[in-house]
């Protein structure tokens, strides 16, 4: 990230203060790929932000993000302009969620309904009055939401309303038992309890769907175990081991599904292996060659039969390069397999830069 201090004569958009802080960050990548033909490609991502302290105690700020693929036209990914005095903020632009979800959050486990997190463009106003945080949002499609949060002693309270639905949330601790509850429109509700004693963690969750689950976890280095039992007699079990450079985990459930993974690191060498009940198997290997060079290789067998090998070089100051070969079966990237590293189908030579 690059930070600049500009004199106010240059920051005419923020007149009335001594200086503006401007930050620019981003990344760029270009590559040539050989896979049944030669193709060139590139991606550029930029994030710009600027802020200015005004004479009246407020601060004006702006953030803008843009992306460009294959040196074509750019796309604005997000933008926001705001005024704040440390207590009150007035903003316009792009937001990840409305005020109601921002206060109350998602529906809890076994709760039939709740607020949804929806990104939108519009405006947001927030402030704090008497220790109560209050926010309101308005989207360009006409949606209005309000939210509030407060803490009374050891009790946290939340409220959300979107002009149609309302929600209330509560969190506290009673006698060492952590309690979280939520109610939505007076009918949908969820409740979660948690209790920790020594190395043992206990949990319980239920809601208006009539379902429930109890859980227990125990850890004593290097071992850990966790189990969850559900109202329909189904269950899930996790076993873990972690000591030094070796870690392993096994997950299984009452439907006879299971998966296992092992990771090991020793000096310049790292390896990870996975296998599951569908007979999918995978191995990822890394080796530090020195001089800021890393070699990687991996394969998958089972539902997907794929492999890759690559050499990556770190040139310092955010610059890097790579050459790779990947056989993914189809497509230009590994989209169905969780590789430790993902490379384009075929042979690729690329350069990348972060700043």
Could you read off the pLDDT tens digit of each residue along the chain, which spans 355 residues? 555 444 333 333 444 445 689 999 999 999 999 988 999 999 999 999 999 999 888 999 999 999 998 877 778 888 999 999 989 999 999 999 999 999 999 999 999 999 999 999 999 999 999 999 999 999 999 999 999 999 999 999 999 999 999 999 999 999 999 999 999 999 999 999 999 999 999 999 999 998 999 999 999 999 999 999 999 999 999 999 999 999 999 999 999 999 999 999 999 999 999 999 999 999 999 999 999 999 999 998 877 678 899 999 999 999 999 999 988 754 444 333 445 677 888 999 999 999 9
Domain with 123, as residue range(s), is 87-218
| pLDDT for 1 | 55
Task: Name the token pair of 123.
Answer: 């405006």
| pLDDT for 74 | 78
Q: Which of 61, 85, 109 is the last residue of a domain?
A: 85
Residue 260: inside a domain? no
Q: Which of 218, 242, 266 is the last residue of a domain?
A: 218
Give yes or no for a contact between 302 and 279, defined as CB atoms under 8 angstroms apart.
yes
The residues with which 159 forms a beta bridge, in sequence order, are 148, 168
Residue 245: inside a domain? no
Instruction: Verify that 136 and 71 share a domain, yes or no.
Output: no
Q: Which of 85, 109, 128 is the last residue of a domain?
A: 85
| pLDDT for 2 | 54
Instruction: Verify that 168 and 125 share a domain, yes or no.
Output: yes
At residue 76's C-alpha, the angle toward residues 73 and 78, to 5°, is 165
Instruction: Verify that 55 and 143 share a domain, yes or no.
Output: no
Q: Model-level pTM?
A: 0.81
Residue 295: inside a domain? no
Instruction: Report the number of distinct structural domains present in the chain.
Output: 2
């Amino acid at each position: 990230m690059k930070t600049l201090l500009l004199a106010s004569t240059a920051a005419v958009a923020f007149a009335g203060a001594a200086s503006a802080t401007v930050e620019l960050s981003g990344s760029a990548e270009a590559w040539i790929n050989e896979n049944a033909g030669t193709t060139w490609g590139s991606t550029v991502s930029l994030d710009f932000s600027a802020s200015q302290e005004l004479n009246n105690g407020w601060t004006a700020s702006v953030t803008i993000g843009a992306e460009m693929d294959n040196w074509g036209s750019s796309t604005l990914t997000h933008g926001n302009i705001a005024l704040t005095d440390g207590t009150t903020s007035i903003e316009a632009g792009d937001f990840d969620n409305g005020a109601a979800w921002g206060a109350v959050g998602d529906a809890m486990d076994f709760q039939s309904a709740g607020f949804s997190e929806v990104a939108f463009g519009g405006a947001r106003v927030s402030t704090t009055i008497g220790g109560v945080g209050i926010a309101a949002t308005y989207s360009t499609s006409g949606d209005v939401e309000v939210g509030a949060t407060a803490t009374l002693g050891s009790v946290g309270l939340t409220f959300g309303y979107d002009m149609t639905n309302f929600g209330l949330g509560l969190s506290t601790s009673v006698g060492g038992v952590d309690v979280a509850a939520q109610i939505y429109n007076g009918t949908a509700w969820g409740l979660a309890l948690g209790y920790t004693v020594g190395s043992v963690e206990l949990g319980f969750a239920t809601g208006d769907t009539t379902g429930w689950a109890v859980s227990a976890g125990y850890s004593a280095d290097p071992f850990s175990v966790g189990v969850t039992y559900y109202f329909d007699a189904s269950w899930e079990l996790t076993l873990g081991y972690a000591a030094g450079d070796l870690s392993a985990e096994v997950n299984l459930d009452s439907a006879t599904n299971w998966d296992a993974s092992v990771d090991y690191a020793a000096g310049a060498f790292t390896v990870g292996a996975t296998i599951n009940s569908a007979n999918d198997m995978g191995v990822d290997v890394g080796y530090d060659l020195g001089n800021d060079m890393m070699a990687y290789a991996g394969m998958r067998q089972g539902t997907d039969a794929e492999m890759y090998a690559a050499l990556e070089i770190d040139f310092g100051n955010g610059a890097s390069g790579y050459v790779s070969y990947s056989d993914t079966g189809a497509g230009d990237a590994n989209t169905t397999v969780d590789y430790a590293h993902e490379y384009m189908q075929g042979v690729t030579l690329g350069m990348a830069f972060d700043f």
